[in-house]
């Protein structure tokens, strides 16, 4: 009996997969939203599609991350994504004519505020990772896209451009692989991204006159365009430098071999530039 008791006490249930937990929480959020603001069929359909899409993409990312340990910052980022799912459902209803302004802006504002939390939590708990940074960026991008669609219902569909930059960049990366290389951190990029989120929430909330809102969106679009242009220029220069290094390496190696009288000579260019 004692042996059985010890075996029972030592038995541990496997932890739940984060995308599974997130999907369940997302469905619960959609049910609460539907019960409180009468979410329509379009909103529920978009919300469920958002739930399935984020769960599938996150599961795939975790499988490819080579043992990424889920941390508290990841949980906060996923919470932001769940709130964004609620915003997406409400925006879908708004596009079809059923606007629920207050809950939409409330969810979006909380998601934006949490954006300032997950990075600090990751740094203080020592759980920063490449996957976590990418997860945070994609959560920012999808919130920007959803809010830009909502903003476009009042300012015009040109405003959707604010949320499409990231996805246009990703699509371009499939055609030009050098755009998928890692880029160094840049403070101006963070400032532009934070300003974009604030402008999206403030304009979507209707806190500004239409003319002033259009000016703010246009200025923010210009800033985002500049930020992406800086990154693209850096990536192009890095790719050009690597291409020149690859062209020089064979000729230098051949010259070194011809003068070494059969003795191996180290290649001074190998490993200088890495992606």
CA gap 182, 268 in Å, rounded:
24
CB 87 within 8 Å of CB 107: yes
pLDDT digits (tens, 9 = 90+) for 48-94: 999 999 999 999 999 888 778 898 999 999 999 999 999 999 999 99
pLDDT digits (tens, 9 = 90+) for 4-52: 444 444 455 456 688 899 999 999 999 999 999 988 899 999 999 999 9
CA gap 19, 6 in Å, rounded:
32
Q: Which of 118, 130, 115 is nearest to 196 (CA)?
A: 115
Q: Which domains does the chain have, with CATH numbers?
A: 15-239 (1.20.120)
Residue 275's pLDDT band, with cuts at 50, 70 and 90, is very low
The predicted pLDDT at position 97 comes to 85
Structure-block tokens of residue 86: 């609620």
pLDDT digits (tens, 9 = 90+) for 84-111: 999 999 999 999 988 888 999 999 999 9
Where does 56-130 show beta strands of DSSP type E? none
Tell me how crowded residue 215 is: count the other CB atoms within 10 A of its CB: 12
DSSP string, 110-143: HHHHHHHHHHHHHHHTT---HHHHHHHHHHHHHH
């Amino acid at each position: 009996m004692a042996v059985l008791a010890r075996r029972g006490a030592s038995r541990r249930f496997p932890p739940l997969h984060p995308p599974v937990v997130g999907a369940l929480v997302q469905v619960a959020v959609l049910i609460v939203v539907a019960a409180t603001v009468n979410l329509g069929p379009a909103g529920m359909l978009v919300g469920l599609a958002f739930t399935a899409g984020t769960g599938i993409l996150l599961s795939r990312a975790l499988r490819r991350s080579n043992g990424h340990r889920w941390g508290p910052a990841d949980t906060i980022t996923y919470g932001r994504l769940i709130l964004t799912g609620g915003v997406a459902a409400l925006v879908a209803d708004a596009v079809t004519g059923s606007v629920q302004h207050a809950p939409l802006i409330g969810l979006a504002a909380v998601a934006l505020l949490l954006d300032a939390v997950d990075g600090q939590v990751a740094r203080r708990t020592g759980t920063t990772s490449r996957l976590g940074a990418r997860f945070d960026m994609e959560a920012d991008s999808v919130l920007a896209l959803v809010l830009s669609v909502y903003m476009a219902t009042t300012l015009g569909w040109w405003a959707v451009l604010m949320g499409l930059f990231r996805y246009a960049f990703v699509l371009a990366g499939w055609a030009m692989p050098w755009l998928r290389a890692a880029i160094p951190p840049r403070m101006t990029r963070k400032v532009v991204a934070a300003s974009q989120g604030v402008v999206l929430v403030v304009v979507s909330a209707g806190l500004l006159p239409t003319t002033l809102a259009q000016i703010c969106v246009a200025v923010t679009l210009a800033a985002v365009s500049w930020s992406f242009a800086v990154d693209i220029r850096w990536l192009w220069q890095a790719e050009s430098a690597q291409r020149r290094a690859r062209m020089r390496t064979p000729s230098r190696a051949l010259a070194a071999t011809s003068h070494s009288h059969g003795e191996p000579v180290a290649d001074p260019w190998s490993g200088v530039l890495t992606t």
